[in-house]
Amino acid sequence: MRVKSKLPRKQRKALFKAPLHHRQKLISAHLSVELREELGIRSLPVRKGDTVLIMRGALRDVEGKVTEVNLKRLQVFVDGATRDKADGTTINIPIHPSNLMILKLDLGDKRRKAILQRKAMEKEEIFEE
């Protein structure tokens, strides 16, 4: 998603009006040091089933699995990041993906494996040049 203007209002407008295939990239989170060394990439979009660590906010250092990813609102819901309401019900707290670090990837999806292979190939091509 490329916005030519540097005006904050236009940057925000571009985020709010971004199509789903651009929003998928906007929910990227950093990989842990071990995954970064193993895969040779720095970040990946968060998906349901990944194990993440919350790095910022009141729920810092909470580790859990991603239960839901909301592309429309750019929110991630983590198992263990919950709050009790006044009436006693428990709700999940939405977290922005920039505040997360991926600890373990869910590789059950063949498309995700293809993404990792493609990124590794791109990395090798850069070093060859």
Report CA dihedral (31, 17, 48, 75) to the nearest 10 degrees.
80
- The pTM score is 0.88
Query: Tens digit of pLDDT for each residue in 41-79?
Result: 899 999 999 999 999 999 999 999 999 999 999 999 999
Question: What is the pLDDT, as a whole number, of residue 126?
Answer: 67
Using the predicted structure, report yes or no on whether residue 1 has a pLDDT greater than 80. Answer: no
Domains assigned to the chain:
13-128 (2.30.30.30)
